[in-house]
Structure 1
C-alpha cells in the first residue's frame, strides 16, 4: 500500500511544480539526486564479478522503462491533466500487464481476465471522455491522458522484466543494489530527454523553497523508497497481483488533490474507478 500512496503524492507534487520546472528536467533531477542516496549503500555492484557488466543491457532497459520513460511521461501528462485523471488512467496498468504477459512472456489469459479487461477499458474510456461519450467519439482528448497511457504501457513492460528478468542473483537479492543498477542507467536516459527538452524549448527553472521541497519529497519517497518496495513486491507476488494495488492510487490522489490542490473529484471519476476496480478484481480471480 505504501508505494501507491507515495506515487499518488508524486502526481500531486508533479502538478504543483508544473509552472516551476519543465517535466523532463524535473524527472532528471529526481533520479540524479536519488543516485547519490543509493551509491553509498550499494557501491559494491561496480566491483568486478558483481554481474552488472555482463547484464548491462537488462539494467539499461529497466532504466529506460522505469526511470526514463514512465516518470518523464507522467510529469509531461501532469502539464495538461489532473493528478486524479493521471492516476485513474494509470490504474489500467493491470490490464496492460495482462496483455504484455500474454503477448511477450507466455502468460495464459483466462476468460474472467478477458471480462475484467473489458470493464477496465470502459473505465479508462470514461476518463478520456470526461464522462461525455460525444467527446470520445470526436477524439477530443486531453494530451496528458494519452501521455499517461503510454507511461502505463511502459510500466507494464517494466514490471514483467522485474519478475522474469535475467539479473544476477547477487544484485537481485539486494533491493538497494537492484534499484541502483537501474537508476544509474535511468539517469542517463532521463538526462538525454532533459537535454532535448532544454534544446528544443524555452524551458526555465524557477528555484525556490517550493521546488526544493518538492524535489526532496520525490527523491526520498516516490523514487528511492517506493521503487525499492515495489520491486520486492513484484518479485514475490508477481506483476499481475502487485499491479492490482496500483488501483489504490486514484483513491489516494483524490484525497490528496482535494486537500492540497482543491481539485474535487467528479461523478465520472467514481464511475470510472469502480469499473476499473471491478475489472481487475474479476481478472484476478483464480
Structure 2
C-alpha cells in the first residue's frame, strides 16, 4: 500500500511539473518572465519554509551556514532555469520545450563524467548521442536544412528552442552543484533556494519598473497554479515518494513529464506534429540508454 502511495505521489508530481509548461506558456502572454519567476518564488517560499519546519524540522542556522551554496543553487535552478524556461515559452510551444527538457538527464550524465569524474560507459555515450539526435529533430522540425540556415523555430532562428537549450544547460550546472554542495534536508534546501531567488531577482525586477501583476482572472489562476503546484506540491509529493521508492526507480518517472505535457497539449486542442513525436521518442530512447544502470536498478 505504501508503494502504491509512492507511485501515485510520483505521478502527481510529474503531472504538476508537466502543467508548468502548459500553464507557463499561457501565463507569459500576460506576465513577463521576470515577473512570473519573481511571483512564483515569492508566493512559494513562505509555504515551503513552513512545510520544511513541520516536516523536517531543520536546524536553520546550520542550513544558512551554507549560504554561498544556497545562493548559487538559487541563482541557477530557481532563477536561471525558470527564467529561461518561461522566456522560451514566449517563442515556442510547451510540448517542444518539454521535449528539449527530456534531453536533460543525458546531458547531466555527460556533465557528471566531465566534472565529477563519473565513468561514462560506451552505452551511455551512445544514449547521449541518440538523445542529441532526437533534440535536433525537434529543433529542425524534421528538416535538417533548417539547422544549417538558422531558419528553424516559430519565432525565427528558434529563440524559444535555443532558450530551452540554455535552460537545460543551467539546470545541469544546478544538478552538478547540488551533488557537491553540503547536504541539507530537501524541502529546507528548496525553501532556502526559493528565498535566495527572490532576494536576487527582486532588485532586478524593481530596476525594470517593478513586477507585472496578473490583470485577468486567467492570469491570476495561472500564476497561482505555478506558485502552488509545480513549486510546492510537486516537491512535497516527490519527497514523500522517496520515503518508499528508491531514487533510481523514482527517476524513471521524470520521463512522464513529456508524456503528460503531450496529453495536456492534446486535451487543450493544440496540434502535435510528426517530427515532435519522432524526436521525442528518440530523445526518450536515448535517455533510457544513457541511464541504463539506473533503469536496471529501478527494475531490481
Q: Same fold (TM over 0.5)?
A: yes
2:242 and 2:228 mapped to 1: Cα distance? 20
Change (3 A) 1:49 1:280: closer
TM-score normalised over the length of structure 2? 0.82
Q: 1:63 corresponds to which residue?
A: 74
Change (3 A) 1:255 1:182: same
Q: 2:257 corresponds to which residue?
A: 249
Q: 1:283 corresponds to which residue?
A: 290
Match for residue 268 of structure 1 among 255, 271, 275: 275
Query: 5+ unaligned residues in a row in structure 1: which ranges?
Result: none
Alignment coverage as a number of residue pairs = 276
TM-score normalised over the length of structure 1? 0.86
Change (3 A) 1:187 1:221: same
Would you say 1:91 and 2:102 are equivalent positions?
Answer: yes
Query: 5+ unaligned residues in a row in structure 2: which ranges?
Result: 1-10, 152-156, 294-300
CA contact (8 A) 1:179 1:228 kept: no
Q: 2:48 corresponds to which residue?
A: 38
Q: 1:217 corresponds to which residue?
A: 225
Match for residue 151 of structure 1 among 167, 182, 190: 167
Q: 2:24 corresponds to which residue?
A: 14
Would you say 1:177 and 2:188 are equivalent positions?
Answer: yes
Post-superposition offset of 1:82: 0.1
Greater shift in the superposed pair: 127-136 or 152-161: 152-161
CA contact (8 A) 1:24 1:197 kept: no
2:163 and 2:241 mapped to 1: Cα distance? 26
1:73 and 1:194 mapped to 2: Cα distance? 15
Q: 2:3 corresponds to which residue?
A: none
Q: 1:78 corresponds to which residue?
A: 89
- Counterpart of 1:132 in 2: which secondary structure? coil
2:108 and 2:84 mapped to 1: Cα distance? 18
Post-superposition offset of 1:61: 1.1
Greater shift in the superposed pair: 152-161 or 14-23: 152-161
